[in-house]
Every structure is written in structure tokens, then in C-alpha cells.
Amino acid sequence: MLNNKVEKLMNEQINAEFYSAFLYLSMSAYLERLNLPGFAKWTYVQYLEETTHALKFFNYVNERGGNVKLTTIKEPPVEWKSPLHVFEEIYKHEQHVTALINNIVDVSIQEKDHASNNLLQWYVAEQVEEEANAQLILGQLERVGDSKNGLFMLDKELGARVFNDATGTINPTTGA
């Protein structure tokens, strides 16, 4: 059975992950408007990833006999100053998500909820990757500066990203 304190935090995290998904989807729309299809694709793939992160928590809470409580998701921004600003915000956001995950880990340890702590280690590793990816692209954008050629090359590179459901929550046959 899922610990009550951990369940409450996981429900908050489900909603935080869905907000992350909406944020990335909004960023994708913004970048598409800027005619940067590679950046738009990268953030769209990130939207898909964040959705699966929420579903992984969702399925775990259900599997452990908990009660999933979905709440209203706040509206994400729709405008940014530039692609650089988008990735500055992405990096800050991923650091925030890391702090949320770390807090759930701390509580799972305090409550001796070993099963939840085991699940959370996947998220800890995932957040290391999320922050590193955001920091890498942010650094590349800073180096590119005002170079349209550099932005074009980075856009092409980011457009090669494909979605891979690392959580295993989506059935590849049915898509559900």
C-alpha cells in the first residue's frame, strides 16, 4: 500500500508533469510560429515525454492502491523573447522539477516507503538527463548568438529528435 504522504506528493507531481507537458507544447507552438520546425519538434517530443512521466506516476499510484487526484493545470505562457529565452526557461523549469522529485525521494525515505523510493530513482536519473540536455542546448544557443546560420544548423539538429517512451507506459501496438 502506498504511504499517504508519498501519495499526496505523487498526486501533486502527476499534475506538475502534466503542466510540464503543456509548457513544452506551448513552447512548441511558439517555435513553430518562428518558423523553427526543429526546435518545435524537439519541444513537442519533450511534451510527449512529460506526458509519459505523468502517466508513470499515475499508473504507480493506481498499482499501489492509491487514489489519483487530478487537479486543474495552470495555463502555461505562450510568448517568449527568443529561442534562447525558451531554453533559459526550460533549464530553470527542469531544475524546479528536479527539486520536486528530490522532495518526494526525501519523504519516501523518511516514511520508509522503499517501493516508492525505488520508482523515484528512475526519475532522479531522468532529471539528470533532462537538465543536461537543456543546459547543452542553452549553451549552444548562447554560442550561436545572432548567427542565422548557426540557428539554422541547430534547428536541423534538434529536428532529428524522435520520441522514445523510456517509461514503458504507452503500448506500442495500441498507442494507449
Question: Is 90 exceeded by the pLDDT of residue 169?
Answer: no
Alpha carbon distance 41, 18 (integer Å) = 18
- CB-based contacts of 72, cutoff 8 Å, min separation 6: none
C-alpha cell at 47: 511534451
Alpha carbon distance 130, 160 (integer Å) = 17
Q: Domain 4-71+83-158 sits in which CATH superfamily?
A: Ferritin, core subunit, four-helix bundle (1.20.1260.10)
**How much is the pLDDT for 174?**
55
Per-domain boundaries in the chain? 4-71+83-158
For 59-69, write each residue's pLDDT tens digit. 999 999 999 99
Mean residue pLDDT of the chain comes to 96
